[in-house]
Chains A and B, each alone.
Chain A
């Protein structure tokens, strides 16, 4: 039998099943917490940190990622206080320099929408255009749902990027394209097409070109 746990989110008394996360419990009760790397079909990843909330426990306060923090009896959660909003704003300010701004008239992407909401429309930081926030939705969806493992992360730190596995991707990706709709920046579309083109070019051709 799964235990019922009672906790307070934004002052509201809530019951949740043991083992669920704060984010799940909040969602189920109509309390919205912004996320970027979360997808209910996938294992929680805890990377974008936009879902950071403040918890009060045993008199102490702590900032945690709600997508991975399990509900606890008597826990008090504040999902939208000033401290949390400040963190979200700064995270968005860090994400904006990665994106090429959406063209005039076109629909704003999910990050831009959130940025507007948290007052981070203009970033004070240096542009680092990669168009990829490394949320890992494509990588994890491909591995966990499709079990294809055609996309992976390579390198670490600030050099981390997503890449296609040349042994797998050419046979799978063009027919599947399921990760396209997950990508918060749309970068995956051009990445797939670009990569598939270069992967389908025989090596001998490439060498010729170089010469």
Chain B
């Protein structure tokens, strides 16, 4: 313990508060946008300008606003730059670092006010967030344990080991009302207690990082950006439960997360913070990283444990919880990445502090992956209880392109659609469940008026029917037939009986499936039928897709009075379905047309119209074009 504090003061003393630090996000998102090249150019530039001793370049984790990457922050002034390219680097060094001047064109510009943001807090995306878990992502190099220790890392572990008994730790977590962030929302403290009291040795603790929801990356961001926080939480849990062995299940598709957590484990071992007799406390703990081969269903607890055992990652019937009989039939406590990362904060600041954040039933913050048709997309961390409206309009900046909001889907593929009338719903585990959706792992997908709900429902059902393990009949055959029905409806072949069949099958999935994938899989179907039934009916009875998305139910039509006979659509049509020439209005041959929409995109005069139901006016051939007079 004193060793750790000594190390901490040493590390802090080594740092020079006046020294310039340039942090660059080196996470998956920014790397894909070219962060590696920015980092290399920065290093060269520093060398070239002879600033090697005065400037430090730090590769950090994700800050969430990935669409604006690569992201650079210059300290001590804390000036955030976005969309930085290698050619911008010399300016950052010569102006900001040397002269303290701001490089204007790299700042974030508020699209509404036109103001430039010189601090992160000035950006609406960040202003309304409460970043407790993600805060350190911007400050530390995840590959250096020193960075984590300097910011108070492993203090909570020390506190638990030397000032608290295992029972007290469990009591504190129970009191904090921390609920599982992986989706279920089960109280973590109660789960710990169950495993702790369950008969059988050894006991195991496990981290679930099998984040499989399309578009979700909160767990990845924590594992990549701050792996020690997850590790520290896990160790505190192990101490409380009485486990000496842990497993971290990371999906194979997250190579950087695997790399960073593996490095973190090695460094913690080297510092005596992991392994035998941790900090001379007598507590032993070792941990292994298990790479999972990318099946969505492996995130389910019994499937995940089967996968670690070397079996097929398939759920098994578990009327006895895995907390009692899990990995190798032993008591096993599995929590999600974000749940574990909350633990050190609770131990350090106390359960009361944690309970003061969020709502009475769901305390703390939650990280959401906000995507879809909003202006600002990315990872956001907010206190539980924030309204959907604030999340979408204040942080997300509203709907893209001034379109109208239609629905928001929370909780991943098996979450439900929430319509506009519930926008003022506060987000917590229970409120979302009340309207037929769920917290899930925190995916938030915003849809605008151009989204066809039937078509999106079909997308989710298709995803789940492929990602189900296929073991139990209700889930496998139920989803197969739901998909058949939805396919029919989208192709204009829907029948009167279809909605009843969808309802019957949804009920069966919920009541009779083997695992939670099956019991929740029908949520998108059920909520879309509840809130957007009219849209289904339009597809079935009027053969009309109100959002004009379903191909079989739309037609493209050239408005003769608007067509300028420019030949753009005609030349680009992949099936030569358009006739006309330089002087005559173009006409689409509906029999030939495959509804690909190329003409609609290509027309520079917006003279092509999408129609649903697809009954265009009879084509009028040979009309001479009326050209608009060019403006002088």
Least CB distance from A160 to B in Å reads: 3
Task: Tell me, in angstroms, the Cα distance from A124 to B484 when the chains sit together.
Answer: 12
* Chain B contacts for A70, CB-based, 8 A: 319-320
Within 8 A of A (CB), among B511-569: 511-514
* Chain A contacts for B501, CB-based, 8 A: 124-125
* Chain A contacts for B56, CB-based, 8 A: none
Task: Tell me, in angstroms, the Cα distance from A50 to B508 when the chains sit together.
Answer: 12
The reply on A91 being an interface residue by CB < 8 A is yes
Task: Tell me, in angstroms, the Cα distance from A64 to B468 when the chains sit together.
Answer: 19
Task: Mark the stretch among B114-122, B125-133, B441-449, B470-478 that contacts chain A.
Answer: B470-478
Within 8 A of A (CB), among B6-60: none
Cβ-defined partner of A94 (8 Å) among B295, B471, B474, B514 = B474
The reply on B3 being an interface residue by CB < 8 A is no
A48 touches B469 (CB 8 A): no
Task: Mark the stretch among A4-12, A126-134, A183-191 that contacts chain B.
Answer: A126-134
The reply on B317 being an interface residue by CB < 8 A is yes
A91 touches B317 (CB 8 A): no
The reply on B98 being an interface residue by CB < 8 A is no
Number of A-B contacts (CB under 8 A): 102
B473 touches A91 (CB 8 A): yes
Within 8 A of B (CB), among A35-50: 44-50
CB within 8 Å for A47 and B466 given contacts A87-B512, A91-B508: no
* Chain B contacts for A157, CB-based, 8 A: 464-470, 476, 479
Q: Is the interface of B mostly helix, strand, loop or mixed?
A: helix
A47 touches B472 (CB 8 A): yes
Contact with B along A44-83 (1 / 0, CB 8 A): 1111111010000000000111001110000000000001
Task: Tell me, in angstroms, the Cα distance from A64 to B471 when the chains sit together.
Answer: 16
The reply on B632 being an interface residue by CB < 8 A is no
Cβ-defined partner of B481 (8 Å) among A45, A83, A87, A126 = A126
B512 touches A44 (CB 8 A): no
B466 touches A158 (CB 8 A): yes
* Chain B contacts for A95, CB-based, 8 A: 473, 477
A159 touches B470 (CB 8 A): yes
Task: Tell me, in angstroms, the Cα distance from A133 to B476 when the chains sit together.
Answer: 10
Contact with A along B138-149 (1 / 0, CB 8 A): 000000000000
Which interface class (under 10, 10 to 19, 20 to 34, 35 or more) fits B?
Answer: 35 or more
B511 touches A63 (CB 8 A): yes
B474 touches A49 (CB 8 A): yes
The reply on A169 being an interface residue by CB < 8 A is no
Task: Tell me, in angstroms, the Cα distance from A152 to B554 when the chains sit together.
Answer: 45
Contact with B along A95-126 (1 / 0, CB 8 A): 10110000000000000000000000000111
Task: Tell me, in angstroms, the Cα distance from A53 to B316 when the chains sit together.
Answer: 18
The reply on A206 being an interface residue by CB < 8 A is no
A49 touches B477 (CB 8 A): no
B473 touches A65 (CB 8 A): no
- With CB as the reference atom, state the residue of chain B lying closest to A152: B312
A-B contact pairs, 22 of them (CB 8 A): A47-B471, A48-B472, A48-B473, A49-B472, A52-B511, A63-B511, A63-B512, A69-B319, A87-B508, A87-B511, A90-B504, A91-B512, A94-B477, A128-B477, A156-B297, A156-B470, A157-B464, A158-B466, A158-B468, A158-B476, A158-B480, A160-B470
